[in-house]
């Protein structure tokens, strides 16, 4: 794959690989996100509304949760939570 890169791209890759891990991860995430293009506003709005709904529900019912250990045990047993 490197053979098909331009000299500029090869240099960018070499420089990027010298960055500390957190900076490389952020750079990689930004590059991957750039491949998706601009988010569709209606999809973005729907996700924001869902996040708000879930946050309100969690705040309104702080004791209405299931311990991770119980969920994991149910998943391994092939049952559903509830």
Phi, psi of 64 (to 5 degrees): -95, 60
Report d(CA 47, CA 53) in Å as an integer.
10
Give the pLDDT confidence score for residue 20 in this predicted structure: 95
Q: Are 71 and 81 in contact (CB under 8 A)?
A: yes
- Residues of the chain scoring pLDDT < 50: none
C-alpha dist (Å) from residue 75 to 25, 53, 57, 63: 31, 26, 24, 21
Give the global pTM.
Answer: 0.44
Give the pLDDT confidence score for residue 33 in this predicted structure: 86
Give the pLDDT confidence score for residue 49 in this predicted structure: 96
């Amino acid at each position: 794959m490197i053979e098909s890169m331009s000299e500029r791209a090869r240099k960018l890759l070499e420089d990027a690989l010298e960055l500390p891990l957190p900076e490389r991860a952020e750079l990689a995430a930004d590059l991957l996100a750039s491949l998706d293009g601009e988010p569709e506003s209606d999809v973005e709005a729907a996700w924001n509304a869902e996040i708000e709904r879930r946050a309100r529900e969690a705040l309104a019912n702080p004791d209405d949760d299931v311990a991770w250990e119980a969920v994991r045990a149910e998943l391994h047993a092939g049952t559903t939570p509830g």
